[in-house]
Amino acid sequence: MDGRILARYALPGFVGSALLAVGAFGVGWLPLKTGVVEIAYVDALRGTTIGTLLSRALIFVGVALLLQAWLILGHDLLDDRDDPHALPRTPPTTLVAVLAAWCAPLLIAPPLFSRDVYSYFAQGRVLAIGEDPYETGVAVVDDWFQDGVDPMWAETPTPYGPFWLLLARGVANFAVDQPALAALIFRLVAVVGLALIVIYLPRLAFHHGIDPAKALWLGALNPLVVMHFVAGGHNDALMAGLVITGLTLATERHGAGGAAAVALAGAVKPIALLALPFVGLLWAGLRSGWWRRIRAWTLSALITVGVLAAASLLAGVGLGWIGALSTPGEVRTWLSPPTAIGMLVGAATTASDITIDDELAVTVTRLLGTIAALAVVAWLVLRPQGRSPSRGAALAFLAVVLLGPVVQPWYLLWFLPIFAATGLHPRALRATMLLITGFSLYGMAESTSTADNLFEFSDGLAIVAAFLVVGLVLLVSPRERKLVLGGPLSHGLLPDDLSQQARAQQALFRGRIGQRE
C-alpha cells in the first residue's frame, strides 16, 4: 500500500474503527458473565454518566470518520481520470488492504450495534445439551441471561439453519462458559464470510462489466459492513458471502458448485435460498429454454435437499427451521414499510374505537406485503429476459426486504454486494449512498446498551447528535457533498469502456419466453 492510499483512505478509517473499539467497552454489549467489566477503565466508562456519554461520543466520531473515509475513497474511484485526486485504475488488492485496516481494531472489541452473537452462543448450548433449538428457546440453558442474550429470545425457537447450529454448537463446546470468547469467535466466522465477499465479488463484477475495485468499494467497504458484519458479528456475513460465492461459481459455469454454495448459505439463514432459482437460470444457460431451466432448477433443488439433509443429520435436528422462519417477524420496527403502515392504520382505528389495538392492521399489511414480495420474486424468476440472473437475485432480495414484516440495518447487506457487482445508474447509486448514510446514522443512534445510565430522553438526543455528526461529514468537503447529493462527479457504477460494456451485454439472460430448448 503506497503512502498516499495509506494516509488518505486507510489511516482515517483505521482511526475511526479504533474509536469504535474503545467506545465499545463503554456502550457495547458485554455479558454479565465476564471479568472485563472489572477492569477499572471499563467500569469507569460503563458505570458513570460521563463515561457513557464519552463512549457514545467516540462511537459517533468513529462512524463519522469511517463514513467520510468511505465517501472520499468513492469520490476518487468514481471521479474523472483527469482530476488530480482521482485514483488510476485501482487493483482490488489495494481495496482489500484498506478494508483490512478499517476492520483490524474491531476484532477484539465487544460487540456493537447488536448482541445477536450471544444468542448464537446460547443456541449452540441448547443443541449441546441435547435439546432441539427449533422447539425451545434458550431459557432451557442454565444462566442463559448471564450469557448476554436478549430476553426477547428466551422462549423463541431459532430461525437459523442446521449448518449454523452445527457451527454454534462447536463454538459453544470450545468456549464452554465464556460467552465473551464465543462472541470473538463468531466475529471471526463473520470475517470468513466477508473474506468470501472480497474474493468472489470482484469476479462477479468483472463478468458484469463493472470495475472490480469500484464494486468492492460499494459492496464490501461501506460502513454498514464494518458496523454490522465485523463489529456486530452477524451470521448474515457468512450467508451473504456464500450467496456471492454461489452466484459467481454459477456465472463461471460451475452450476453444481454454485447451487451447493447457495444451499450452504440457506443452511445458515434460510432466506438465502431465494437466490437458488437464479443460480438455476445461470446453470441452464443464458439462452436456455423452459426445459433446460426446469432441469437446472430440479438439479439445484436436489443438491439443496442433500446439503440441508447432511447438515441436519450432523447437527441432530429435523426440519424445524421451516416452522421457525416466522421468528424474526415477532419484532416490530418502523423500518419495515408494511409494519409501519399497519401500526399507523392500527393507531387510527384504535383511536376511533374501531379496534382495541393495532394487531389486526399489522397482520393484514404484513400479509399483503408478503404476497406482493412473492409475486415480484415469481415474476423475476419466470421472466428473466433482459437482465442478468444475478441482477434478478439482487432485486428479489430487495423486494423481500422492502416488503417483509421486519427490516434490520444489516438486511441491506443481503443485496448491496450483488447490486455492486451488477451495476447501478447514477440516481440508483446516489440513493444507495444516502441509504447507507441513513442506516449508518441509525446505527449510531442505537449504539448504546447502557441507556439507563442517562436521562430518559437520551435516545432522542442521540438521534439529534447523530444527524449533526453526519451533517458535518457532508459539509467538510465539496467532494462528499457532490458524491452523495448529486453533481457532475456522480456518474454511477457502470461499465467504463467498450470491453466492459460487451461483458455486461453477455451477462444478460436472452432465452425466449416461449422457447422450450
Quickly list DSSP for 132-162. Answer: -TTTS-GGGSTTTGGGT--GGGTTPPP-S-H
The per-residue pLDDT for range 100-158, each reduced to its tens digit, is: 999 999 998 888 888 889 999 989 998 988 888 888 888 888 877 777 787 877 778 88
Q: What is the pLDDT of residues 272-310, one digit of tens each?
A: 999 999 999 999 988 888 899 999 999 999 999 999 999
C-alpha distances in Å from residue 29, one per residue of 113, 114, 148, 191: 8, 7, 8, 19
Mean pLDDT calculated for residue range 60-88: 77
- What are the grid coordinates assigned to 212, written together? 472490480
In 10 A of CB 512, how many CB atoms?
Answer: 11
Q: What is the pLDDT of residues 341-386, one digit of tens each?
A: 888 888 888 887 777 777 888 888 989 999 999 999 999 999 999 8
Question: What is the phi-psi region of residue 357: left when phi exceeds 0, alpha when psi lies from -120 to 50, beta otherwise?
Answer: beta
User: Which pLDDT does position 43 carry in this prediction?
Assistant: 66
Q: What is the pLDDT of residues 459-487, one digit of tens each?
A: 455 556 656 666 666 666 666 666 666 65
Average pLDDT over residues 71-76: 85
CB 153 within 8 A of CB 137: yes
Up-side HSE of residue 189: CA atoms within 13 Å toward CB?
Answer: 25
User: 454 pLDDT band (50/70/90 cuts)?
Assistant: very low
First to last CA, the chain: 50
Q: Is the pLDDT of residue 510 over 70?
A: yes
Query: How does DSSP classify residue 222?
Result: S
Residues 251-263: tens digit of each pLDDT: 999 999 999 999 9
Categorize the per-residue pLDDT at 456 as very low, low, confident or very high, splitting at 50, 70 and 90: very low
Please say if the pLDDT value at position 204 is more than 50.
Answer: yes
What are the Cα distances from residue 355, in Å, to 1, 342, 349?
Answer: 63, 13, 6
Q: How far apart are CA 385 and CA 275, in angstroms?
A: 17
Angle (nearest 5°) at CA 47 between 43 and 51 = 90
Residues composing the chain: 517
What separation in angstroms does the CA of 244 have from each of 90, 255, 304, 393?
Answer: 22, 13, 16, 10
The domain segmentation of the chain, as residue ranges, is 3-331+368-506
Residue 496 pLDDT level (bands cut at 50, 70, 90): confident
Q: Residue 195 class from Cβ within 10 Å (0-12 exposed, 13-18 middle, 19+ buried)?
A: middle
Residue 343 CA to residue 48 CA, distance in Å, equals 36
